[in-house]
Amino acid sequence: MGKISIEDLAKIQEAARYKVTLRQGAGRVRMNVHMGTCGIAAGARGILTAVMNEIEARNLHDVIITNSGCAGLCSQEPMMTVEVLGELAPVKYVQLTPEKVKKIFDSHVLRGSVVQEFALAVGSERTH
Amino acid sequence: MAYRTYLMVCAGTGCVANQSMKIKDKLETEIRKKGLQEEVSVVTTGCNGFCAVGPLMVVQPDGIFYQLLKETDIPFLVEEHFIKGRPVKELMYTPPKEKLPIPKMSDIPFFADQSLVVLRNRGLINPEIIDESIARGGYQALAKVLTTMTPDDVIQEIKASGLRGRGGGGFPTGIKWETCKRMPGDIHYVICNADEGDPGAFMDRSTIESDPHAVIEGMLIGAYAIGSSHGYVYIRNEYPIALERLQTALKQAREYGLLGTNIFNKNFNFDIKIARGAGAFVCGESTALMASIEGRPGEPRAKYVHMVERGLWDMPTCLNNVETWANVPQIILKGAQWFNSVGTGDVSADPWGGSKGTKVFSLAGKVNNTGLIEVPMGITLRKIIFDIGGGIKDGKKFKAVQTGGPSGGFIPESLLDLPVDYEELTKVGSMMGSGGMVVADEDNCMVDMAKYFLSFTQTESCGKCVPCREGTKRMLDILEKITVGEGTEEDLILLEELSSMVVESSLCALGGSAPNPVLTTLKYFREEYEAHVKDKKCPGHACRKLIQYKIDPVACVEKGHGCHVCAKNCPDGAIVGETKQAHTIDVMKCNKCGICYDVCKFDAISVE
């Protein structure tokens, strides 16, 4: 890239927005994929990839991904806890598939409405 | 695809010295091995600040802080945290005297009590990539001044902010700029003083290492305000990482047209050259620094004519310290009022009326959390040392803190509630200086400390003026005499007289402040001097000629069964005795190294 203009500063900033959000540990929504042995065996890696793909496809800058160990409910894996920070209590989703992840993005992440049919309970285990 | 996790590995000088680059390589290898390279990114950042526990890294967005990493920890860490989602407790920070580790960086008291302006990008960006700086708002302030502000507007904003020189003098920055701008001359120069030479100080080094573009942008704004198109950064060659990152930053800024001609098409030209110093302490003094850039010996001159009038190559010159420059972009972006809402006093009428904004300090010596901190002006020394610094090492007792580098004064416990402020520190005989802070505990001898710092300034005296060259030498002779037990009470009076002579008649601030450690220790710890002079004892057990090691024969036999470890370890063969019997020290042979004291597991050896 050669000489840049004042407008280019804003473009560089915009392109890096998601990176900056993540590095500051800030974000509007936290999605925690459970990655215990049980979760991984049941396909948690695929769920994690699906979440990352959704974030990229929808060009979201405010969704952060974390992962945690087994939540103790191995029969319901793969699981994920979704939390709209400071607004809604964390919600646990069970027996996930990439299609279900898509729906959770449409409804919970973007519109703040919990997808009741995949939800197990409201509340969260400690992540660390 | 965007990454989901960033591993912010500290690559400040301290952590690099502790092999953080090997940790980075190992992380990258392991991440590739596990197929996570598309998801997890390793970023090298500038100094994180918590140097005491390096090499360290922060995992974002979780905010987990890992410390004292070893290459062998990495495979387990990658598997546990990044695949299985279980942060590794064993690698987290546990405060002294506590049992539970603190996972999140933001919950660690060392970080929680700081407020970052100058170091706002530390640990968040890779300083070698200009886009990362721009992503965090870099060069926005430059865009603002070039599009919406006149040079006078900029000067008014800086004046209103109350920003004062962070290199030690505390001169109001806006006034300096205004005076320099008014001075006639074909060329005006701006200089960044990065010749930080204080033992135990690394603020400027870390600022350049973690965010070089903040300094460059500050200089650009200053140059626009003053009407300058030529800048210099005078940086010591012993700072290889800072130098390299600065060179990279300058190159990238030039490629983007942020340095050079017609910047942002606003008909503003400015470029920066690097002048490398050879490590002479006196070259941090502004006139000596300019002499050095000009290729002359680094010696100061009398300042009948100020540098803003006739500085580098006899042209009007505005010199500011690294930290001062790095504050400028934030003041422009957020406004003078935002800046001066933090700090002490009132600068609206009198620019010397208060200390505003934040100050970076390097915390060193006998404190648990050594490292780099940025705190609001007006914070108490007690909060810095005991909350952020985590108190004194090994549960020892605090004795004194030296602020302001080798020529700063020692401040005793009774004054620990003093707010950090230019005037308050000067009042008690010390100074803000550039921000070194060295903590002494009960085991430090204050006479010895004063001698150490005076020997530094004495060696670094350029020798141009007599009071500094000869005065500090004679003072050092007297201190030497006192520490070997040959001092007299008259010596203390002579020491005070010499000190005030050196302070008053030296040519520059090096001599003008060199006696501070002596004067303050004489003032606050006079009893220690008297113990050396009258009783020929050293209460801190540091002056070898005045101490004696003794073995308690009862403890030696009953507790240790004459274990003989001390005798085995004595380098002088001064300890005699058979196993199971009491040992004794031959005072004629004993060199007072203290090894026996350290190796005795039965507390049978004492020192007095």
DSSP character for B390? -
- Check the CA dihedral B161-B167-B170-B174 and report its sign: negative
Residue A5, in any domain of the structure: no
The rounded percent of chain B whose pLDDT value lies above 70 is 100
Residue A9, in any domain of the structure: no
Cα(B439)–Cα(B370) distance, integer angstroms: 10
Task: Give the range of the structural domain holding residue A36, as residue numbers without chain letter.
Answer: 27-122
**Domain stops at, among B107, B138, B156:** B107
Residue B142, in any domain of the structure: yes
| Same domain for B564 and B516 | no
* pLDDT, average across residues B206-217: 96
Where residue A65 sits, what CATH number does that domain have?
3.40.30.10
Count other C-beta atoms under 10 Å from residue B505's C-beta.
14
| Same domain for B268 and B240 | yes
Candidate from A2, A25, A35 with C-beta closest to B60: A25
The rounded percent of chain B whose pLDDT value lies above 90 is 86
Cα–Cα separations (whole angstroms), residue B440 to B364, B367, B373, B383: 9, 8, 18, 16
Give pLDDT, residue A71.
77
| Same domain for B327 and B203 | yes
Give pLDDT, residue A120.
83
| Same domain for B372 and B332 | no
Residue A103, in any domain of the structure: yes
**Domain stops at, among B441, B460, B485:** B441
Residue B124, in any domain of the structure: no
Residue B119, in any domain of the structure: no
Domain count, chain B: 5
Strand-pairing partners, residue B398, are B441
Q: A124 at the B interface (CB within 8 A)?
A: no
Domain count, chain A: 1
**B429: its two tokens:** 């005989």
Task: Report chain A's mean pLDDT, rounded to a whole number.
Answer: 86
Contact criterion met (CB below 8 Å) for B59 and B46: no
User: B197-223: b or e for each residue (b if 16 or more CB lie within 10 Å)?
Assistant: bbebbbbbbbbbbbbbbbbbbbbbbbb
Candidate from B85, B139, B258 with C-beta closest to A67: B85
Number of H helices, E strands in chain B: 26, 19
Is the per-residue pLDDT at B128 higher than 50?
yes
CA nearest neighbour of B374 among B11, B121, B165, B119: B119
Query: What pLDDT band is residue A128 in, cutting at 50, 70 and 90?
Result: very low
Q: Which of B86, B255, B271 to mutate to test the interface with A (most CBs of A within 10 A)?
A: B86
* pLDDT, average across residues B592-600: 92
In B, which residues are within 8 Å of A2 by CB distance? 255-257
Concatenated DSSP letters for B68-134?
A: S--GGGHHHHIIIIIIS----GGGBB--TT--S-B-BGGGSHHHHT---STTTTTTTS-TT-HHHHH
Give pLDDT, residue A1.
65
Give pLDDT, residue B508.
92
Q: Cis omega (within 30 of 0) on the bond before B151?
A: no
Where residue B591 sits, what CATH number does that domain have?
3.30.70.20
Complex-level ipTM:
0.87
Residue ranges with strand state E in B237-293: 271-277
Residue in A with minimal Cα distance to B135: A13
Asked if A68's CB is within 8 angstroms of B85's CB, the reply is yes
Residue B182, in any domain of the structure: yes
| Same domain for B516 and B489 | yes
Candidate from B43, B61, B139 with C-beta closest to A25: B61
The rounded percent of chain A whose pLDDT value lies above 90 is 27
Give the closest-approach CA distance of B474 to chain A in angstroms: 54
Residue A11, in any domain of the structure: no
| Same domain for B179 and B103 | no
CA Rg value for chain A = 16
In A, which residues are within 8 Å of B85 by CB distance? 32-36, 66-69, 127
Give pLDDT, residue B496.
95
| Same domain for B250 and B171 | yes
Residue type, B292: S
Residue A13, in any domain of the structure: no
| Same domain for B258 and B156 | yes
| Same domain for B594 and B580 | yes
Give pLDDT, residue B2.
79
Strand-pairing partners, residue A126, are none
Give the closest-approach CA distance of A84 to chain B in angstroms: 15
Give pLDDT, residue B514.
94
| Same domain for B140 and B95 | no
Residue range B230-260, pLDDT digits in tens? 999 999 999 999 999 999 999 999 999 999 9
- Predicted TM-score of the model (pTM): 0.91
Residue range B307-334, pLDDT digits in tens? 999 999 999 999 999 999 999 999 999 9
Residue type, B281: F
In B, which residues are within 8 Å of A56 by CB distance? 1-2
Residue B28, in any domain of the structure: yes
CA nearest neighbour of B6 among B44, B50, B33: B44
Give pLDDT, residue A126.
53
- Check the CA dihedral B584-B589-B594-B600 and report its sign: negative
Chain A from 81 to 120: CB within 8 A of any B CB: none
* pLDDT, average across residues A78-93: 86
Concatenated DSSP letters for B469-492?
A: IIIHHHHHHHHHHHHTT---HHHH
Task: Give the range of the structural domain holding residue B52, as residue numbers without chain letter.
Answer: 5-107
Cα(B396)–Cα(B386) distance, integer angstroms: 12
Contact criterion met (CB below 8 Å) for A76 and A97: no
Asked if B140's CB is within 8 angstroms of A22's CB, the reply is no
Q: What are phi and psi of B124, to 5 degrees?
A: -110, -25
Residue A22, in any domain of the structure: no
| Same domain for B197 and B90 | no
Where residue B21 sits, what CATH number does that domain have?
3.40.30.10
Asked if A65's CB is within 8 angstroms of B3's CB, the reply is no
Taking any CB pair shorter than 8 Å as contact, residues of chain B touching chain A are 1-6, 8, 39, 43, 60-64, 82-87, 103, 106, 124-125, 131-132, 134-137, 139-140, 143, 146-147, 255-258, 264-265
Give pLDDT, residue B98.
85
**Domain stops at, among B317, B341, B365:** B341
Give pLDDT, residue A76.
84
Asked if A18's CB is within 8 angstroms of B2's CB, the reply is yes
| Same domain for B323 and B188 | yes
